[in-house]
Chains A and B, each alone.
Chain A
Amino acid sequence: MAMAALRREGRRFGPLVSSPSPINAIRSTLAPTEEQVGLGVRSISTQIVRNRMKSVKNIQKITKAMKMVAASKLRAIQVRAENSRGLWQPFTALLGDTPSVSVKKNVIVTISSDKGLCGGINSTSVKISRALYKVNAGPDTETKYVILGEKAKAQLIRDSKKDISLIMTELQKNFLNYTQVSVLADDILKNVEFDALRIVFNKFQSVVSFLPTTATVLSPEIVERESEAGGKIGSLDAYEIEGGETKSEVLQNLAEFQFSCVMFNAVLENACSEQGARMSAMDSSSRNAGDMLDRLTLTYNRTRQASITTELIEIISGASALTG
């Protein structure tokens, strides 16, 4: 609700907020005020500046409240994100980290947020996804996007609509837990053909910084191929495999489990970065609103004082005309 209100306010004062030098904006929007004042009217109206001050104050209140909300959400989710960090490490230790693997069917899983006003995290993950697309482009390769979150969808649907194979939104409507994420992961595994899944997300480092990251999950066939070819995951051949009928069956289970674990961590990290980014964005916008309020107050007082001076001059000159 707060967001909608903010958007409304923002639209009304869009030119004021987006202007590179707000003081000029104030001046330029003040100019028509003076024109609006009729020829015969003596005093300059301060009504418009007062109105603007009121709305800037309201915006500041909203952004402050949003910062508080983001801060409390961040605290809750940060603990969970940090606790989930152990989950992907065994897989990286076992299967290695293979961002440079070249396969035919690449799927880029872009993780973004559903809501905006959170700085640059969504455009960062979109940028990284586009660049990954370019890096993996080739004559006989095929790259598709799987999008999580409303914001990446809005950005990617414009120019790469034909490459999007799956879109999932409203991820954070429900409480993010492993079960939910594994259902999501299952959906992706069922509906998308892949040789390598490249998951793009923002890893949370601190409230003000997040690291764009890409994790790679290979399909069981590619894992087998790569381990036979040696290289980074060549040591996999040394492992004995217990359970399951065949090696490929276990590898299949392993790949699916890996994907859900990596996804779980990625989704949590991204949600955490989102709250952190929103917190700092809202902090800076409250500060900005404060600055703007100061400038408006200055303008207001100056105008008020000018009108008082004018009135005084009129009174004094009238009186002196009578006596003289």
Chain B
Amino acid sequence: MFRQVASRLLTRPTTTYSAAASATTRRPFATEVVADTTSGDEAFVEAWKKVVPNIDPPKTPSQYMHPRPPTPSTLPTKLTVNFVLPYASELSKKEVDMVIVPATTGQMGILPGHVPTIAELKPGLLSVHEGNEIKKYFISSGFAFIHPNSYADILAVEAVPLDRVDPAQVQKGLSEFTQKLSSATTDLEKAEAQIGVDVHSALNFALTG
């Protein structure tokens, strides 16, 4: 709202402000795609204004998003990765060469220009390759989205760098849960033990393999 007022004020032909005014009016024609932070979903705002004219329409998530670039015509050389957890953003817009994610169908390598994909993840090893450097995380579960513009979003519920995992504890946990699985009586206990065994054996595999 203020921006509109400002642009209206700035259109007055004062010499000092004319440069700024032309900048604001020129913006819509710029080649860069700028997220419209003022309006949001137009149909929604219109419907809102019709029914409740005296309250400003609420914001929507897309108004807070950083705009993402359109799909390039040539194959990009780098993959932009966002790796987020509920309590942190591990990687944010980091440009890397390749990531390997533990999809439920098997380990999946993602290179720049990968086909757009939605993949469910299982407990396993996530490795981020950047030049010669390889960062390894163990993630519990989640989703990975690969967008056509070579953006990869990896969401996990829990993740730890692999070097912070204690192998002895893993072995201990694995044997504990295996025991629990054999002694489980109810379905719930069985399912819990099965999850424990799955996670620990995946951890074990990630550490040894």
Contact = CB atoms under 8 A, between A and B. Distances in A.
Given A99-B41, A100-B44, A135-B51, A83 B89 contact: yes
Interface string B156-194: 010000000000000000000000000000000000000
B58 A244 contact: no
Nearest to A244: B120
Contacts of B108: 242
Nearest to B141: A257
A99 B84 CA distance: 24
Contact of B116 (A87, A100, A214, A239): A239
Interface string B76-105: 000000101111110010000000000111
Contact of B143 (A83, A88, A127, A257): A257
A142 interface: no
Given A131-B48, A135-B47, A83 B87 contact: yes
B52 A135 contact: yes
B117 interface: yes
A203 interface: yes
A58 to B, nearest CB: 38
A94 B147 contact: yes
Contacts, number: 137
Contacts of A178: 86-87, 157
Contact of B151 (A83, A93, A134, A243): A93
B197 interface: no
A214 B118 contact: no
A214 B60 contact: yes
A128 to B, nearest CB: 5
Given A240-B118, A257-B143, A99 B44 contact: yes
A203 B64 contact: yes
B55 interface: yes
Contact of A216 (B43, B60, B118): B60
A253 interface: yes
Contacts of B61: 88-89, 92, 97, 213, 215, 262
A52 interface: no
Given A92-B61, A128-B58, A242-B117, A84 B86 contact: yes
Contacts of A200: 58
Contacts of B147: 93-94
A94 B118 contact: yes
A212 interface: yes
B26 interface: no
A94 B52 CA distance: 30
Interface residues of B, number: 46
Contacts of B92: 86
B68 interface: yes
Contact of B48 (A92, A135, A215, A253): A135
Interface in A192-207: 200, 203
Nearest to A212: B58
A94 B153 CA distance: 9
Nearest to A88: B61
Nearest to A131: B52
A14 to B, nearest CB: 30
B65 A89 contact: yes
A80 interface: yes
Contacts of B66: 89
B172 to A, nearest CB: 23
B58 A213 contact: yes
B119 interface: yes
B60 A215 contact: yes
Contacts of A40: none
Interface string B51-74: 110010011111011101000000
A98 B47 CA distance: 13
Given A86-B92, A88-B61, A240-B117, A80 B87 contact: yes
Contacts of A211: 58-59
A146 B41 CA distance: 24
Given A93-B153, A96-B62, A135-B51, 18 more contacts: A86-B82, A86-B89, A87-B155, A90-B155, A93-B145, A134-B52, A213-B61, A238-B148, A242-B103, A242-B104, A242-B117, A242-B118, A243-B121, A244-B120, A250-B120, A253-B143, A257-B143, A262-B61
28 contacts: A90-B84, A90-B155, A92-B61, A93-B147, A94-B147, A97-B40, A98-B41, A99-B40, A99-B60, A100-B41, A100-B43, A100-B47, A128-B58, A131-B48, A134-B51, A135-B52, A177-B87, A178-B86, A203-B64, A212-B58, A214-B60, A238-B148, A239-B117, A239-B118, A240-B115, A242-B119, A253-B120, A254-B118
The 3 lowest CB-CB distance pairs between A and B, nearest first, are A90-B153, A243-B120, A243-B104
Interface of B: 40-41, 43-44, 47-48, 51-52, 55, 58-62, 64-66, 68, 82, 84-89, 92, 103-105, 108, 115-121, 142-143, 145, 147-148, 151, 153, 155, 157
